[in-house]
């Protein structure tokens, strides 16, 4: 996890708020993977809405289903093992993209939603210059001449802060640093002015200084272009810096959804509380590290989930009801009327089990 000072969290809390029109509505998404030992539900009934101009974070430990959620939305599930078993992904102005034929989906990718992955070398082709790849991406979605595409590519490299863009455009990916390659990926993702950028651990492979630069770049571009961001990370420090709202995922389901301010001020789900305690912080006065807590145990195997609450084997607050039935994702019982919407999947907070 990256280092997060109390100051960083405070900065993100004032960084705008959600409230635009819905752009992407994911409803009861279930994604099945046929793996050895039988099928698993990697995403098991996930619902959320991404609104115009917001950054929505998805956080959770490794294997919680964050990437499978993203790949389901993009129509890029691993073949032949992955398939969307049920649910819908409604994209504003397009409709349910789960039902789109692959040809139409290809134009949605890039035109409407583009994706940035953790490791740019797996997405950039090493045998072509970045300029060639960038202009191809532009020409695949816009009818412009080669010359115009090249000019647009140089503008994009400039926008994402690549020095000497008219020289760098003719470099091969291996001639760029990791941070510059990730900037190129962001340029490619934004080249066709998508409504949504889906970023899956975009800075995890980078060192802390470059990570901060890329996150600042994404925040700046979001402000300048109005692109909404769905940001996947295992790092609550990144969420604090970037997102206005957050979904916490555990073992294929959402266990908490809240505004970033509310989540950091008072996490409700015991899993979120555990994640918060494992954020490294520097003490304000003495610059002394607090003792780090970790959540005991590991994420359960999706083929062998505990009965009842999926977190019950690791939860410090587990009680009898938790092992009998899985709690619903619901508004907390004591949510004040008029308070910002939030949801939690825990019997401690949703005794009535209302949805
Ligand atoms: N290609 C694959 N083949 C088989 N199982 C997979 C594959 N990819 C993911 N899974 C399984 O699907 C589940 C969800 O994985 P997913 O990649 O979505 O997790 P994640 O939250 O993105 O984790 P990480 O933080 O490690 O990227 C896990 O149980 C994982 O083992
Ligand atoms: S439902 Fe029970 S086991 Fe699950 S998180 Fe809440 S208290 Fe813990
Ligand atoms: Mg992942």
- How would you list the strands of the sheet with 38-51, edge to edge? 38-51, 22-35, 82-91, 95-96
Q: For residue 4, what are the contacts with CB-CB under 8 A and spacing of at least 6?
A: 236, 237, 240, 241, 279, 280, 281
Pairing mode, strands 82-91 and 38-51: unpaired
**11 or 233, greater pLDDT:** 233
Mean pLDDT (whole number) for 145-157: 93
Lowest mean pLDDT across 135-144, 259-268, 305-314: 135-144
Instruction: Decide whether any atom of ligand 1 lies within 6 Å of the 245 Cβ.
Output: no
Distance from C-alpha of 5 to C-alpha of 231, rounded to nearest angstrom: 20
Distance from C-alpha of 279 to C-alpha of 277, rounded to nearest angstrom: 6
309 CA closest ligand 2 atom index: 4
Instruction: Decide whether any atom of ligand 2 lies within 6 Å of the 311 Cβ.
Output: yes
Q: What spacing in Å lies between the alpha carbon of 62 and ligand 2's midpoint?
A: 20
Q: What spacing in Å lies between the alpha carbon of 63 and ligand 1's midpoint?
A: 5
322 CA closest ligand 2 atom index: 2
- Asked whether residue 133 carries a pLDDT value surpassing 60, the answer given is yes
Distance from C-alpha of 316 to C-alpha of 335, rounded to nearest angstrom: 23
- Asked whether residue 288 carries a pLDDT value surpassing 80, the answer given is no
Q: What spacing in Å lies between the alpha carbon of 351 and ligand 3's midpoint?
A: 32
Mean pLDDT (whole number) for 202-225: 87
Distance from C-alpha of 49 to C-alpha of 56, rounded to nearest angstrom: 9
> Which phi and psi angles does 24 have, rounded to 5°?
-135, 125
CB 91 within 8 A of CB 108: yes
> What is the pLDDT confidence band of residue 295, given thresholds at 50, 70 and 90?
confident
Distance from C-alpha of 241 to C-alpha of 212, rounded to nearest angstrom: 9
Q: What spacing in Å lies between the alpha carbon of 66 and ligand 3's midpoint?
A: 6
> What is the pLDDT confidence band of residue 20, given thresholds at 50, 70 and 90?
confident
Distance from C-alpha of 18 to C-alpha of 229, rounded to nearest angstrom: 12
| pLDDT at residue 159 in the model | 85
| pLDDT at residue 43 in the model | 98
Instruction: Decide whether any atom of ligand 2 lies within 6 Å of the 267 Cβ.
Output: no
Please list the residues that pair with 112 across neighbouring strands: none
> Which phi and psi angles does 304 have, rounded to 5°?
-150, 60
Q: What spacing in Å lies between the alpha carbon of 180 and ligand 1's midpoint?
A: 27
Q: What spacing in Å lies between the alpha carbon of 29 and ligand 1's midpoint?
A: 16
Instruction: Decide whether any atom of ligand 1 lies within 6 Å of the 42 Cβ.
Output: yes
| pLDDT at residue 190 in the model | 84
Instruction: Decide whether any atom of ligand 2 lies within 6 Å of the 312 Cβ.
Output: yes
Instruction: Decide whether any atom of ligand 2 lies within 6 Å of the 161 Cβ.
Output: no
Out of 32, 37, 68, mutate this one to test ligand 1's pocket (max ligand atoms within 8 Å of CB): namely 68
- Asked whether residue 73 carries a pLDDT value surpassing 70, the answer given is yes
For 86-105, what is each residue's pLDDT tens digit? 999 999 999 999 999 999 99
Distance from C-alpha of 270 to C-alpha of 319, rounded to nearest angstrom: 13
List of long-range contacts for 98-104, beta carbons under 8 Å, 24+ apart: 98/72, 100/75, 102/75
Q: Ligand nearest 235 Cα, by number? A: 1
Instruction: Decide whether any atom of ligand 1 lies within 6 Å of the 302 Cβ.
Output: yes
**206 or 53, greater pLDDT:** 53
Instruction: Decide whether any atom of ligand 1 lies within 6 Å of the 70 Cβ.
Output: no
SS (H, E, C) the chain: CCCCCHHHHHHHHCCCCCCCCEEEEEEEEEEEEEECCEEEEEEEEEEEEEECCCEEEEECCCCCCHHHHHHHHHCCCCCCCEEEEEEEEEECCCEEHHHCCHHHHHHHHHHCEEEECCCHHHHCCCCCCHHHHHHHHHHHHCCCCHHHHHHHHHHHHHHCCCCCHHHHCCCCHHHCCHHHHHHHHHHHHHCCCCCEEEEECCCCCCCHHHHHHHHHHHHHHHHHHCCEEEEEECCHHHHHHHCCEEEEEECCEEEEEEEHHHHHHCCCCHHHHHHHHCCCCECCCCCCECCCCCCCCCCCCCCCCCCCCCCCCCCCCCCHHHHCCCCCCECCCCCCCCCCCCEECCCCCCCCCCC
* Residue 55 C-alpha from the chain's centroid: 9
Mean pLDDT (whole number) for 308-314: 97
- Asked whether residue 318 carries a pLDDT value surpassing 60, the answer given is yes
Q: What spacing in Å lies between the alpha carbon of 150 and ligand 3's midpoint?
A: 33
| pLDDT at residue 123 in the model | 76
Instruction: Decide whether any atom of ligand 2 lies within 6 Å of the 346 Cβ.
Output: yes
Distance from C-alpha of 330 to C-alpha of 70, rounded to nearest angstrom: 23
Pairing mode, strands 196-200 and 228-233: parallel
Q: Ligand nearest 58 Cα, by number? A: 1
Q: For residue 96, what are the contacts with CB-CB under 8 A and spacing of at least 6?
A: 88, 89, 90
269 CA closest ligand 2 atom index: 5
Distance from C-alpha of 266 to C-alpha of 135, rounded to nearest angstrom: 46
For 257-282, what is each residue's pLDDT tens digit? 999 999 999 999 999 999 998 876 65
């Amino acid at each position: 996890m990256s280092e997060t000072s109390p100051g960083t969290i405070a900065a993100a809390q004032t960084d705008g708020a959600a409230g635009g029109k819905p752009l992407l509505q994911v409803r009861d998404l279930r994604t099945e993977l046929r793996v050895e030992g039988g099928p698993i539900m990697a995403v098991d009934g996930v619902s959320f809405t991404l609104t115009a101009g917001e950054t929505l974070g998805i956080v959770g430990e490794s294997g919680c289903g964050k990437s499978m959620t993203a790949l389901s939305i993009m129509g890029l599930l691993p073949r032949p093992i992955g398939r969307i078993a049920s649910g819908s992904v409604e994209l504003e102005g397009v409709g349910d993209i789960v039902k789109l034929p692959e040809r139409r989906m290809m134009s949605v990718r890039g035109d409407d939603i583009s994706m940035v992955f953790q490791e740019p070398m797996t997405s950039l082709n090493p045998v072509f210059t970045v300029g060639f790849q960038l202009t191809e991406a532009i020409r695949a979605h816009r009818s412009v001449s080669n010359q115009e595409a090249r000019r647009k590519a140089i503008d994009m490299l400039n926008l994402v802060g690549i020095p000497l863009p008219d020289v760098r455009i003719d470099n091969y990916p291996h001639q760029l640093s990791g941070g510059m390659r990730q900037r190129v990926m962001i340029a490619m993702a934004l080249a066709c002015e998508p409504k949504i950028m889906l970023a899956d651990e975009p800075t995890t492979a980078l060192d802390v200084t470059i990570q901060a630069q890329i996150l600042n770049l994404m925040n700046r571009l979001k402000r300048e272009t109005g692109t909404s961001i769905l940001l996947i990370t295992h790092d609550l420090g990144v969420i604090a810096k970037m997102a206005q709202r957050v979904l916490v995922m555990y073992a294929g389901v959402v266990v908490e959804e809240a505004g970033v301010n509310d989540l950091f001020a008072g996490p409700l789900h015991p899993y979120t509380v555990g994640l918060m305690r494992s954020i490294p912080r520097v003490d304000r006065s003495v610059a002394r590290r607090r003792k780090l807590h970790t959540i005991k145990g590991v994420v359960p195997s999706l083929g062998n989930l505990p009965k009842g609450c999926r977190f019950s084997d690791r939860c410090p607050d587990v009680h009898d009801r938790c092992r009998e039935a899985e709690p619903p994702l619901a508004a907390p019982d004591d949510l004040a009327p008029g308070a910002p919407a939030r949801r939690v999947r825990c019997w401690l907070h949703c005794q009535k089990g209302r949805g």
